[in-house]
Structure formats: C-alpha cells, structure tokens
Amino acid sequence: MRAPKSRLPSLDADIDHFLDALWLEKNLSALTLRAYAQDLDSLRLYLQTRDLRLRQADNADLASFLAARLAAGAALRSTRRQLSSLRGFYAHALREGWIQHDPSRDLSSPRLGRHLPDVPTESEVEALLSAPDQTLPMGLRDAAMLELLYATGLRVSELVGLQLSQVDLPAGVLKTFGKGRKERLVPIGARAQDLLGVYLRQARGVLIRDQAQAAVFLSQRAKPMTRQRFWQLIRHYGELAGIQCQLSPHSLRHAFATHLLDHGADLRSVQLMLGHAQLSTTEIYTHIAQARLQALHAAHHPRG
C-alpha cells in the first residue's frame, strides 16, 4: 500500500520508498511527508553536482551539504530539521540493506546561536609572522612559534607543551597529543620547518642556559613557555603589525583551517590535522570559507 501520490512530489525511488515507509509506520501528515521530501530532494540535487547518488554519500558529503546550507543563509533551526530528515532516511537505508554504514551517524546538530570566530586574512597573517625581530634570540623564538602555529593548527596548549622528542625536523612532521591524550601526526610545512630549525640551532641554546629542559620553546628564565605569556606575545605582535581584529593563539588555528579550505583542502583532511573527534566540529570552517567567497563575489563582481 502506497501513500497517495497527490500528497508527494515526484522523487527518486529511494526517497519515495522511505516516504511510503514513514506513511505506513507513523501515519504522518501530508505536510510532514512533504517536508521530508523537500529536505531529501535538496540533498539529492546537491549530490548530483558531485556525481553522487544518495546511497554513495559519505559523512564528509553530508557535512559539506549542511555547511553549504548554512553558508547560503539557511536558518539553524531548519538545518537541524534537515539533519533529522537525513538521519531518518539513512537509518532506513541501513535497515533495508541499501548501504553498509550510516554516513549520518557521527553528524551533530548545528548549535543555535553558533558564533563564527574572527579569522585574520592571509595578508594579516603574513604581517603578523613578519613582526618579530629575528635578529634576537627571543624574536627568533617568537617567529618560530607563530610560524609553527599557523603551519600546523595546533592548540596553544599543544604548542607550548611541545617537546623535542615530538619533532621530527628532517621528516617535516611533529607528533602531538590533543584532547583525551589522543595522538596525531601533523605536517610542519617547509617554511615553518626552516624557521624552527634556525631557532633550535641558534636561539634555543642561548635561552636554555645549560639547564636540562625538554620543552622546545623556552622563556627568558629557561622555563617552558606558558599559555598566558604566548597570549600576550601574539597580542603584542598583532598591534605591531597593525591588525585590527582581536587576535589570540586560537586565531591562527582558525586561520590555518580556513585558509586551507580557501585553497581547496578537503574537510576530512582538515579535521584530521586539527584533531577534531567529529567532522561536524570542523564544518564551521567551511561556513567561514564560503561566506568569504560570497563577500568577495558581492564586492567585486559587476552584478554582485
């Protein structure tokens, strides 16, 4: 027995099958079924632009779809409702044996009132990284810390807690421990690799004063750098560079993720480098990157 066709738009077979099941099992109203239909059809159309069908979508595809909706101005409440529709559909697809894994399982609902962080532009980051006086040992240390933070997206606690044993400079990677002591490997990048090498060879020995110390970055007293002191330094260099937005150590983590996405990195890779447990946590950076593109289009396109 099928739901009356007059209640539903014309859809592909999988969506139609799901809506029939909803009508039979839950006796939903025509209005509610239509809302499910519209939610799923918008996903179907989005996936078509990627040459994918509903059964082929993975977690990253769904996260990107929801982030694109938010970037286009969709309300958080309607996006949360849409996520509920996707979860219902993929739970049904799993029960029917159409898919082996539910791609919606690890997606979390967008939070109402979610705040988008201020992210320095690429030119502002360049100005910030150039601000320390690299002819001085502490200036070289500060330049290396800023460059490494921007190159890796480390949390400030991961940066100030970094030890020599965690850095493989010839390989260009470092090992860090994020929340829950979860280990991850992060590429350093050529420029940060070079500057960190110069700091270790020329400045760290001056700062350590013959003391036994495993920390990479040291204070004037040959102690590990603190989060509070690095916070003060990044504000200081932001003022020197004439940067207007409020800077914090987290600003460079935001810039790391956003600028990667601006230049074509995929969301899953950014998630792994940031050490996010869930892809949904990383979605905010897709929102920021797409919002920037929209602002750029509006400012410079003749019909923007």
Q: Which residues are catalytic?
A: 155, 179, 250, 253, 276, 285
Q: How far apart are CA 17 and CA 25, in angstroms?
A: 12
Q: How far apart are CA 117 and CA 285, in angstroms?
A: 9
Whether residue 66 contacts residue 282, with contact meaning beta carbons closer than 8 Å, is answered with no
Dihedral angle computed from the Cα positions of residues 69, 73, 76 and 77, in that order, rounded to the nearest 10 degrees: -100
Shortest CA distance to 69 belongs to which of 283, 295, 298? Answer: 283
Give DSSP secondary structure letters for 1-21: ----GGGS----HHHHHHHHH
In this structure, the number of other CB atoms found within 10 A of the CB of residue 47 comes to 18
Phi and psi (nearest 5°) for 224? -60, 140
